[in-house]
Amino acid sequence: MKTVRNICTAALIGLGINVIAQTAPPAPPAPPATVYEDATTTVTTNSSNVSVITQNGNFGSGGSTSYSVSNSNDEYRVKSRYPSNRYAAIKDFLVAEMGTKNMQSSGKDMVWSLEGDEDTVYEIALSEKRLKIELDKTIAAPDMIAKFTDMGNILRTLVSGGSERQEIQRLERDADRARRDAARMQREAARLREVSVRDAARLEREALRLSNEAERLGLNSKRGGGIDSYVRDLLELSSTKTAASDEKSSLWQWPEVQEALINTLNTEGLLKGEETIVFVKEDAGAYANGTRLSTTQWSKVNSVFRKYGMQDVTEVSFYKKGNHIVIVDGFIAVEKIVTWLTRNDYIASSSRYVKMMLNGSSVIVDNVALPSSDVKRINSYLLTEGVITAPGKSLVIKETGMSLGYSYDKSTLGTWVSRD
């Protein structure tokens, strides 16, 4: 089976930028490159595995800038020059993302570096008018590679004079577009399955690629406090509204966790009285309404999750607007969960249509509410798999696949698995 995660997407800002993508010639020489040109953009591609993106220009006020990214199978590099009035925004962003543990500074010069057993994993050198980033992808972890790539996207915006908030807004819009494209391809693949297995498989692969790209790029949006339109729509639905009785429910722990979490974030001054909350918890850190938590703050948040038996929830995105909430889990082993539910007779079969509403204080299978004892047992088991139940959340099994999350407007926010 193939797993598709429809979570959010993004893209980097390219307005008014000349972009040149080229590759270093391999040995033997690469085939002739193909060049595409228009009034503002020149793109050169060939078959090598190295890509270089360079932008030069006078973006806004303050003087000229240059930003070059080299990304190959072995390394990721950034070189940039910019006027001094861009320094503060770049410095603040890097300190927020990288912290100070591996940092040395002298005046306005700052260097972050991490040494491996034999080689340097990464080095970031920042001065008032220059930035240099080097990452050895042969020894860096995949999460670190993804983080540096995402950082590069936002740094490009900051260098060109834009704001991180502008980047977040663009990420939200492109997230919507990529999610719609992925959902459309999933539907088309299902339609073609009986006609052409090969065409259906091709569309499913493309849907998987788009969904994975949506998730990777959309992480920047969530970290920055952004909410894409799909989540905004969910927060307006009656199905995602919590009831007053949920706060005292012995069947569902999240209301207690939510209260303790919000109190902690307020105490740390991270919510600033805002009505809407965007909280992201990951293995490597946490973010609240666009602010990355310090090591001490992150530790306090983790203590809240441990106190209520949610230590297995390593990745989660929590959105709240008024009494409406949306909780998006990290990667979920949907097939394993379906096997457990089948083995314990909560669903009759994994091969026929089933819709199980996982509302937290209730579990409804094909419009039949389960007894309280079963609700509590299912909620407890799902927590061990990293799933937090919440109003409007569902497990859906169809002939074409299964999903766990929020199903709305022919799309899924959560984890979707297709059948081969």
Buried b (16+ CB within 10 A) or exposed e, 170-192: bbbebbbebbbbbbebbebbbeb
Q: What is the pLDDT of residue 182?
A: 66
Query: Would the pLDDT of 373 be above 90?
Result: yes
Pick the residue with more confidence: 189 or 394?
394
Bond into 371 cis (ω within 30): no
Q: What is the pLDDT of residue 263?
A: 94
Tell me the three state secondary structure of residue 317: strand
Residue 29: left if φ>0, alpha if ψ -120 to 50, beta else—which one? beta
Of 34-43, 68-77, 185-194, which has the strongest mean pLDDT?
68-77
Residue 221 structure tokens: 């949006």
CA 90 to each of CA 94, 289, 348, 359: distance values in angstroms, whole numbers, following the listed order? 6, 20, 56, 43
User: pTM of the predicted model, to two decimals?
Assistant: 0.55
Pick the residue with more confidence: 40 or 221?
221
**113 and 124 in contact (C-beta within 8 Å)?**
yes
Pick the residue with more confidence: 383 or 173?
383
The answer to which of 39-48, 61-70, 73-82, 186-195 has the lowest mean pLDDT is 39-48
Whole-number percent of the chain with pLDDT over 70? 68
For 228-264, what is each residue's pLDDT tens digit? 777 888 999 999 999 877 666 788 889 999 999 999 9
Q: What is the pLDDT of residue 172?
A: 62
Give the start-to-end residue ranges of the domains of the chain.
Answer: 38-58+60-161, 220-420
Q: What is the pLDDT of residue 176?
A: 64
